[in-house]
Amino acid sequence: MEWNGISLGPDAFWLITIVFIIDLLHIFIMDKELKMTSFDPAMAAALGIPVTIIHYTFMSMVSITTVASFIY
């Protein structure tokens, strides 16, 4: 990747960095919900947390991170 003729590093580094930042933001924003749905989904459902949606967003994060690590 280049900017104004200056090399900024390999594309793989930037892709993994962007995925890492998105993952961190998701984890910080959804910290309590991720813990609740991971360790006790029945209680999370009783508290009104959408367990299925959070499960599939977490699995999507894992999938996107895995695919991004194998692209380059």
Taking the C-alpha atoms of residue 56 and residue 45, their distance in angstroms, rounded to an integer, is: 15
- Is the pLDDT score of 6 beyond 80? no
Higher-pLDDT residue of 1 and 44 is: 44
Compute CA distances 31 → 24, 34, 51, 53, whole Å: 10, 5, 13, 14
Taking the C-alpha atoms of residue 20 and residue 68, their distance in angstroms, rounded to an integer, is: 10
- Is the pLDDT score of 36 beyond 90? yes
Taking the C-alpha atoms of residue 17 and residue 35, their distance in angstroms, rounded to an integer, is: 24
Contact 36, 30 (CB under 8 A): no
Indicate the pTM of the whole model. Answer: 0.77
Taking the C-alpha atoms of residue 29 and residue 25, their distance in angstroms, rounded to an integer, is: 6
| Predicted pLDDT of residue 5 | 75
- Is the pLDDT score of 1 beyond 70? no
